[in-house]
Amino acid sequence: MELELRGITKRFPGVLANDNVNLTIRSGEILCLLGENGAGKSTLMNIMYGLYTATEGDILIDGDVVNFDGPGDAIAAGIGMVHQHFMLVPVFSVAENVVLGVEPTLTGGVLDIEEARDDVRKISGQYNLDVDPDAIIEQLPVGLQQRVEIIKVLFRDAEILVFDEPTAVLTPQEVQEFFGIIRKLKDDGKGIIFITHKLKEVLEIADRIAVLRRGAVVGEADPATATEVSLAELMVGRPVELKVSKADADPTDVVLEVRDLDVLNVHNQLAVDSVSFDVRRGEIVGIAGVQGNGQTELVEALTGLRESVGGRVSVGGVDLTNASPREVHNASVAHVPEDRQRSGLVMSFTLTENFVLDSYYDEPFSQGIKMDWDRSRQEAGRLIQEFDVRTPSSEIPASNLSGGNQQKVIVAREFSRDVALVIASQPTRGVDVGSIEFIHERIVAERDQGAAVLIVSSELDEVMALSDRILVMFDGKVVAEKRPEQTTNAELGLYMAGASSDG
Ligand SMILES: Nc1ncnc2c1ncn2[C@@H]1O[C@H](COP(=O)(O)OP(=O)(O)O)[C@@H](O)[C@H]1O
Ligand SMILES: [Mg+2]
């Protein structure tokens, strides 16, 4: 099968999201689509999947123009899509999710769950997906939920599969397993469109690379000759510094003090197990670890989002054990949360409203009981400039921005006041290289202005590049402490898998 996008243009009010794009994908190849956040990748894929209608241009399958009135038409034509944010029903089983909307039925319209189970088992076996048809979605780790999405697409007989930033939520090991899966799909004759901002991944897996910038295809690159540096430049339109440049740390007073902290997870199990560490003024401490080893609960406890059940936390000598988020904020703590859609932004609020989200009750934005919106909008405009947020205006809802730009809104809000402590979780998850460079620079700047900085990231490269000191978490405990210059990714990887530093 050959799928061609010919002269595709898509305009949203005030935004040219796709600009005369020509792109072809054939069976049996992996095409990587690279581009900064907001470059128009998801829009293009949504057009190909029948979710949006192109303003101009055609979609052709094997040379014939097709018209998609909705995803149903695209699916019928053999196109499948694994979305950036999964669209599974959390309380349903795998089998129920896979057949949702196309249920095999017994006479009388009853769902034939046996047949659904068999189908899941068959597809799972064929591609080594290792998915249990009876598992409940919300109890599966993200990596397995993604495989359910893949099964769902294959169940509908997709020939071309689109993956929108599939590796953003995966651990390094899960990424390798995922690559195994898409190589198998390719060998089986499927066409794969793989969207990512990770240059290493592109070079590892692509047969062809197309780069999108500001809505237009600015070039195709050959994975045999391309380098990370050349791809980054093509993507951003200027040379990009891929290494973090920073002076040696000069740590002074202890700002964050964590002692014997115990925190339970949502299942009431001990997720943080007697953890103790300090973060000093003028240093960046990075916590490395495979997701699910207590990092999330640790940060939630430090920022007032979850109660601890033992131990204590202080910032600048002030006890903040089980303080509220507002009390933590008032103690000059900035927080860039892990899940920006859930706890970082109010998606239906405008950018201006999001910028003043946690300072609306303070001057200068509040005059007595009345908000000073002119003042707020002015400040929003300034932050949009300074933090390079790509948006047509400060008065559109946050939900309209791409992920990386949403992250910049949070960083802008959190870093625009003087803080003693910065806590940043997965600060660049799902963010493109241009914005990663920018966010990393801002984090180092916070350190150099005298903040204590704690970052938590499941990207080992990021922890290595940013940190002055690295703590590795495994199974709720800090199992190793290293300086980046004294260790390697391989060694940290061992600690992340449970090896202990004293044996
Ligand atoms: N539904 C929409 N309404 C208005 N603007 C949109 C909508 N969807 C995307 N955009 C805008 O189109 C541009 C491209 O977005 P998108 O395709 O999501 O980029 P990418 O996936 O490459 O990050 C961005 O400027 C984004 O803000
Ligand atoms: Mg996107």
Position 367 scores a pLDDT of 60
Ligand nearest to the CA of 40: 1
Ligand 1 pocket at CB < 6 A = 12, 15, 17, 35, 37-43, 390, 400-402
Q: At the topology level of CATH, where does 2-236 sit?
A: Rossmann fold (3.40.50)
Atom of ligand 1 nearest to the CA of 40: 17
Distance CA(99)–CA(45), nearest Å, equals 23
For residue 406, the ligand closest to its alpha carbon is 1
Please give the number of the atom of ligand 1 that sits closest to the Cα of 401. 27
Interhelix angle for 172-187 vs 142-155, to 10°?
10
C-alpha 374 – ligand 1 centre gap (Å): 27
pLDDT at residue 428 is higher than 80? yes
Given ligand 1 and candidates 5, 15, 23, which is best to mutate, with the most ligand atoms within 8 Å of its CB? Answer: 15
Closest CA to 195 of 158, 167, 228, 216: 167
pLDDT value of residue 363: 59
DSSP code for 203: H
- Least Cα distance to 123 among 185, 171, 76 occurs for 185
With a cut of 60, say whether residue 414 has pLDDT above it.
yes
Ligand in closest contact with the CA of 83: 2
Of 227-231, 233-237, 320-324, 363-367, give the range with the top mean pLDDT.
320-324
CA of 244 relative to ligand 1 center, distance in Å: 28
C-alpha neighbours within 13 Å on the C-beta side of residue 428: 22
Across all residues in the chain, what is the average pLDDT? 90
The pLDDT, as a whole number, for residue 360 is: 59
Q: What residues are paired with 161 via a beta bridge?
A: 80, 192
CA–CA separation, 62 and 436 (whole Å):
39
Residue 249: the pLDDT is 93
Q: pLDDT band at 447, cuts 50/70/90? A: very high
Lowest mean pLDDT among 8-17, 210-219, 359-368, 416-425: 359-368
Nearest CA among 305, 310, 300 for reference residue 273: 310
Select the more confidently predicted residue: 104 or 25.
25
Q: Which atom of ligand 1 is nearest to the CA of 84?
A: 21
Expressed in angstroms and rounded, the spacing between residue 40 Cα and the centre of ligand 1 is 6
Q: Are 434 and 456 in contact (CB under 8 A)?
A: no
86 CA from centroid of ligand 2 (Å): 13
Ligand number, closest to the Cα atom of 431: 1
Query: How many angstroms does the Cα of residue 471 sit away from the middle of ligand 1?
Result: 37
Q: Are strands 30-35 and 208-213 parallel, antiparallel or unpaired?
A: parallel
C-alpha 47 to ligand 1 mean position (Å) = 12
pLDDT over 90 at 17, yes or no: yes
Indicate the range of 152-156, 227-231, 397-401, 490-494 predicted with least confidence: 490-494
Best substitution site from 10, 19, 37, 43 to test ligand 1's pocket, by max atoms within 8 Å of Cβ? Answer: 43
Q: Is the pLDDT of residue 315 over 80?
A: yes
- What's the DSSP call for residue 340? I
* Ligand found nearest the CA of 212: 1
- Residue 175, number of CB atoms within 10 A of its CB: 21
Closest-lying ligand 1 atom to the alpha carbon of residue 44: 17
| pTM summary value | 0.73
Angle between helical axes of 433-448 and 228-236 (0-180°, round to 10): 90
Residue 135 CA neighbour count, 13 Å, CB half: 16
**Residue 83 contacts residue 164 (beta carbons within 8 Å):** yes
CA of 358 to the centre of ligand 1 (A): 27
pLDDT (mean) for 224-246: 88
Q: List, as one string, the DSSP characters of 130-170.
A: ---TT-BGGGS-HHHHHHHHHHHHHHTT-SEEEEESGGGG-
The DSSP bridge partners found for residue 212 are 35, 217
pLDDT of residue 288: 94
Is the model's pLDDT at 503 over the cut of 60?
no
397 Cα–ligand 1 center, Å: 12
Give, using CA atoms, the residue closest to atom 7 of ligand 1. Answer: 400
At residue 6, the pLDDT reads 98
Instruction: Read off the pLDDT of residues 169-226 as tens digits, 9 standing for 90 and up.
Output: 676 777 889 999 999 999 999 999 999 878 889 999 999 999 999 999 999 999 999 9
- Using the atom order of ligand 1, give the atom closest to the CA of residue 165: 21
Distance between CA 92 and CA 81 in Å, rounded? Answer: 20
For residue 175, what pLDDT is reported? Answer: 85
Domain boundaries, the chain: 2-236, 254-496
Q: What is the predicted pLDDT for the residue at 416?
A: 86
Q: What is the pLDDT of residues 351-364, one digit of tens each?
A: 999 888 776 556 56
- Report the atom number in ligand 1 closest to the C-alpha of 39: 22
**Nearest residue CA, atom 12 of ligand 1?**
17
Q: Do domains 2-236 and 254-496 have the same CATH topology?
A: yes
In percent, how much of the chain has pLDDT > 70?
Answer: 94
- Which residue's CA is the closest to the ligand 1 atom numbered 25? 38
Contacts of 392 (CB under 8 A, 6+ apart): 13, 14, 15
212 contacts 221 by C-beta, under 8 angstroms? no
Q: Which residues contact 100 (CB under 8 A, 6 or more apart)?
A: 89, 92, 152
- Ligand 2 mean position, distance from CA 214 (Å): 13
d(C-alpha 252, C-alpha 247), whole Å: 15
Q: Find the 37 Cα to ligand 1 centroid distance in Å.
A: 9
What average pLDDT does range 277-299 have in this prediction? Answer: 94
pLDDT (average), residues 28-44: 92
The mean pLDDT value for 304-320 works out to 97
Q: H-helix or E-strand containing 120? A: helix 113-126
Q: What is the pLDDT of residue 237?
A: 87
> What are φ and ψ of residue 149, in 5° steps?
-60, -40
Burial class (CB in 10 A: 0-12, 13-18, 19+), 86: middle
- Class in CATH terms, 254-496: alpha beta
